[in-house]
């Protein structure tokens, strides 16, 4: 299968002028030309297959937005190769953007003073969407995103959640092969986040739309993405499955056991008793030391068990550890 995105040794460097403080320093800076080089993206390579839903993660300043701007054709790389949907985004921008969609959490693609429905109809003509396809998509998205309550409302009067739903509809009306979502749930309440997550899953599964998602809300990643890429300081630290990320860097798991009675000694060799309250005991164990099934088997041989559950390490803690300790170096 031909990748829809192919990135090879991609770099984007920026020159930032160095100026001393004060008026004299500012004037001197105009003539000296001193600068420092910022390596926003520093030699990353990856591929995305058609139909994938990939989370692209990293702290502020890691290089996520710079990567997206190159992928959408807004920035030209310093070096490296980038092909999306068989095109070089910044060279064939007009033909390229007709087949992608983009939603940026802090910016709207809709016309500020127009009702939502007018903006959507304008986009129909801009993207040359056939009337039947436009009506079919609009009817589908109206129901999924519950747009009817504010279709006739000017965009400037919408709440953040309403605007985000309208922007998602606008980005997908022309049936793009690929959509870039930058913080699509930022600032939204729990109900609005869940509605948008379900919509993203729908267009990915039912329409086969490839999705590249950047977010700081790791619950988005847990509920939407099987594959994640982690970038920091312009370099790709991890590219693989979410389960693989937990397996390699997730730290210790916990087994919560409700015993049939309050046993005096519930210790197990090589396993930490992390907490105890009457017959309920929490064990903490590393994947490299023992599997959950092995621990359960050991406990079952010695005690009567009423209930148990395995708690995986929190994904947010896992990713934070990678950022802070750069575990892949």
Q: What is the pLDDT of residues 205-218, one digit of tens each?
A: 999 999 999 988 78
| pLDDT score of 94 more than 90 | no
- Cβ count near 293 (within 10 Å): 9
The pLDDT of residue 30 is 59
Q: What is the mean pLDDT of the chain?
A: 87
pLDDT band at 276 (very low <50, low <70, confident <90, very high): very high
Buried b (16+ CB within 10 A) or exposed e, 82-114: bbbbebebbeeeeebbebbbbbbbeebebeeee
The pLDDT of residue 11 is 95
First to last CA, the chain: 31
| pLDDT score of 122 more than 90 | yes
Q: Where are the domains of the chain?
A: 5-99+176-247, 252-312
Q: What is the pLDDT of residues 34-84, one digit of tens each?
A: 678 889 999 999 999 999 999 998 888 888 889 999 999 999 999 999 999
Q: What is the pLDDT of residues 141-177, one digit of tens each?
A: 999 999 999 999 999 999 888 999 999 999 999 999 9
| pLDDT score of 229 more than 70 | yes
How far apart are the C-alpha atoms of 176 and 288, rounded to whole Å? 44
Q: What is the dihedral of CA 182, 186, 192, 195, to 10 degrees?
A: 30
The pLDDT of residue 113 is 92
Please give the CATH topology (third level) of the domain spanning 5-99+176-247. Rossmann fold (3.40.50)
């Amino acid at each position: 299968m031909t990748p829809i995105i192919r990135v090879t040794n991609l770099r984007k460097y920026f020159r930032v002028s160095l100026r001393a403080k004060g008026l004299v320093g500012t004037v001197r800076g105009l003539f000296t030309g001193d600068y420092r080089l910022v390596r926003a993206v520093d030699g990353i390579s990856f591929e995305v297959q058609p139909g994938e839903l990939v989370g692209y993660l990293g702290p502020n300043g890691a290089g996520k937005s710079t990567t997206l701007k190159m992928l959408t054709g807004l920035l030209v790389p310093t070096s490296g190769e980038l092909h999306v949907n068989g095109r070089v985004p910044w060279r064939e921008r007009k033909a390229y953007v007709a087949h992608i969609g983009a939603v940026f959490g802090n910016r709207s693609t809709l016309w500020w003073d127009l009702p939502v429905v007018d903006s959507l109809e304008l986009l129909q003509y801009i993207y040359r969407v056939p009337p039947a396809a436009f009506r079919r998509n609009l009817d589908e998205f109206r129901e999924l995103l519950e747009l009817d309550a504010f279709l006739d409302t000017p965009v400037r009067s919408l709440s953040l959640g309403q605007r985000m739903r309208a922007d998602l509809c606008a980005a997908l009306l022309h049936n793009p092969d690929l959509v870039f979502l930058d913080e699509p749930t930022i600032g939204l309440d729990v109900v609005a986040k869940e509605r948008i997550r379900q919509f993203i899953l729908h267009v990915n599964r039912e329409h086969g739309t490839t999705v590249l998602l950047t977010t700081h809300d790791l619950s988005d990643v847990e509920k939407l993405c099987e594959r994640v890429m982690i970038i920091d300081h312009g370099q790709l630290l991890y590219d693989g499955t979410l389960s693989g990320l937990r397996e390699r860097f997730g730290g210790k798991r916990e087994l919560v056991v409700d015993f049939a009675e309050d046993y005096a000694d519930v210790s197990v060799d090589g396993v930490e008793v992390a907490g105890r309250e009457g017959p309920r005991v929490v064990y903490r164990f590393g994947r490299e030391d023992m599997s959950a099934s092995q621990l359960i088997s050991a406990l079952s041989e010695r005690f009567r068990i009423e209930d148990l559950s395995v708690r995986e390490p929190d994904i947010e803690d896992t990713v934070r550890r990678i950022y802070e300790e750069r575990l892949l170096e």
